[in-house]
Amino acid sequence: MGSLLFTGGTIVTADGSFEADVLIEDEKIVAVGTDIAANGTETVDASGKLIMPGFIDAHTHMAMPFGGTVTSDDWATGTAAAAAGGTTTIIDFALQEEGGTLAGAVETWTEKARDKALIDYGFHVAITDLRDDVKTELPSLAAKGVASVKIFMAYKGTPLYTEDDDLFEVLQLSKEAGVLVLVHAENGDVIAKLQEQALVHGNTAPRFHALTRPPEVEAEATGRAIRLAEVAGAPILVVHVSCAPALEEIHRAHERGQTVYAETCPQYFAFSYEDLAREGFEGAKYVCSPPLRDESNRPALWNGLKVGDLQIFGSDHCSFNYRGQKEMGADDFTLIPNGLPGAEERAMALWTLGVREGRISENQFVAALSTNQARIYGAYPRKGALVPGADADIVLWDPELSITATASNRHGNADYTPYEGMTFDGGPAAVYVRGNLVYKDGEIAGEHGSGRFVERNFTATRGLEAKV
């Protein structure tokens, strides 16, 4: 591509907001300032719009096998949904196969993305089989540009479940390897016992998904993972924090000076346990893990975003169709595939419920959606910044845009949206990946397969503070 000049807009970064123009050449930002001469360069009138760095969603599950099925969004439909929400980079979870290698997981996911990804991408590797040869292999991930791994403390009885001794050893090995460990923190043993007891009593409805995963099991596992990281002397990141008790464990760690990063997700602000308890089997549409909570948890989560105990806002986009997939658990809630679509709605939900309601600032919005993600996951300042030398990933955000979500106007592949009927006030008018238009005015404009792999480099000694 050639040159592009964005004029007349207000730049919004994690650090501040100001009037300025942005000049792009050869997929990079080359200048940010006032009165940049056009010199025949194609201009984009950003009047009335906010110019933001492209959003990063480091928590997606595209074409992922789970519970005997596969998520309904592949890399074509999933990245289209992400782009329609202002996201220009995702970091997806590549699952190690039982008996397989970490490199094999990266190769498999690279093939899934090939010729389909509309936006840029990276991978975390989810370790499911920590054999001795896998421990030896772990340090080689960083050289592949994969700077993070994930451990599941939940899902006992499946290959995903990991015992404490393996979690602890991964923390030790990752510290040496320059790799960040992410944890899904729920006590898998207690959940398995509560599920078993619920089914014995004939409690099979979707709402029992939440009742067998109470906040305490998330808080306990969060505290345990944090303490294990403390013993290992390693940083740790807790994904999809859903409740006040788990957040309290993170806050205490920050008070001790421990490096703990934490993420929350839009579903915990837009929905609640009441949605899981909807009449009939409708609640299945809202089954995700950790589960939706009582609304009383929300003030703590908003405060966590505001003060920095929660630094990032990911979607945990994990879409399953209601028909044929969620319905697998019609007679047993433990068989309902866990996950919700949300990559498209993530930023609009945070703006509508957070910025417009005065709960967070527009700068905290950009930090949680973009800049902090780039910093924590080792892609800054190539991503997450509007500075010369950065990739020209740009969102033109229209604070006056209003759109009501329906299954028919979504860009993903799920046969429903949990956000059905919700009106978002504020959204992306246009989205650019490395200066290339991928989304404009409700329509996908980019080319599938144009997304590129982003090599990341996480170094625990880089001086990042626990709260970024």
Token reading at 122: 């990276």
User: What's the per-residue H, E or C state across 409-467?
Assistant: HCCCCCCCCCCCCCEEEEEEEEEEECCEEEEECCEECCCCCCCCECCCCCCHHHCCCCC
Rounded Cα distance, 234 and 226, in Å: 9
H helices present in 279-371, as ranges: 298-307, 346-350, 362-366
Three-state DSSP class for 260?
Answer: strand
Whether 218 contacts 262, CB under 8 Å? no
Peptide bond into 290 cis (omega under 30): yes
Domain boundaries, the chain: 3-52+384-444, 55-382
pTM for the model stands at 0.97
Phi-psi region of 66 (alpha: psi -120 to 50; beta: other; left: phi over 0): beta
Three-state DSSP class for 56?
Answer: strand
Q: What H or E segment, with its residue span, contains residue 107?
A: helix 102-113
Name the residue with tokens 């090995």. 173
Rounded Cα distance, 350 and 365, in Å: 7
pLDDT in tens, the chain (468 residues): 679 999 999 999 999 999 999 999 999 999 999 989 888 899 999 999 999 999 999 999 999 998 889 999 999 999 999 999 999 999 999 999 989 999 999 999 999 999 999 999 999 999 999 999 999 999 999 999 999 999 999 999 999 999 999 999 999 999 999 999 999 999 999 999 999 999 999 999 999 999 999 999 999 999 999 999 999 999 999 999 999 999 999 999 999 999 999 999 999 999 999 999 999 999 999 999 999 999 999 999 999 999 999 999 999 999 999 999 999 999 999 999 999 999 999 999 999 999 999 999 999 999 999 999 999 999 999 999 999 999 999 999 999 999 999 999 999 999 999 999 999 999 999 999 999 999 999 999 999 999 999 999 987 434 344 444
What amino acid is encoded at 280 in this protein?
Answer: G
Nearest in space to 413 (alpha carbons), one of 299, 333, 304, 320: 320
Rounded Cα distance, 78 and 239, in Å: 20
Residues in the chain: 468
Rounded Cα distance, 205 and 286, in Å: 12
Name the residue with tokens 């010729």. 115
Rounded Cα distance, 412 and 415, in Å: 9
What CATH number was assigned to the domain covering residues 55-382? Answer: 3.20.20.140
Rounded Cα distance, 23 and 6, in Å: 6
Output the CA–CA distances (angstroms, integers) from residue 359 to 14, 303, 342, in the order listed.
Answer: 16, 8, 21
Homologous superfamily assigned to 3-52+384-444: Urease, subunit C, domain 1 (2.30.40.10)
| Residue 281 burial (10 A CB sphere; 0-12, 13-18, 19+) | middle
Output the CA–CA distances (angstroms, integers) from residue 65 to 52, 116, 320, 336, in the order listed.
Answer: 34, 18, 11, 14
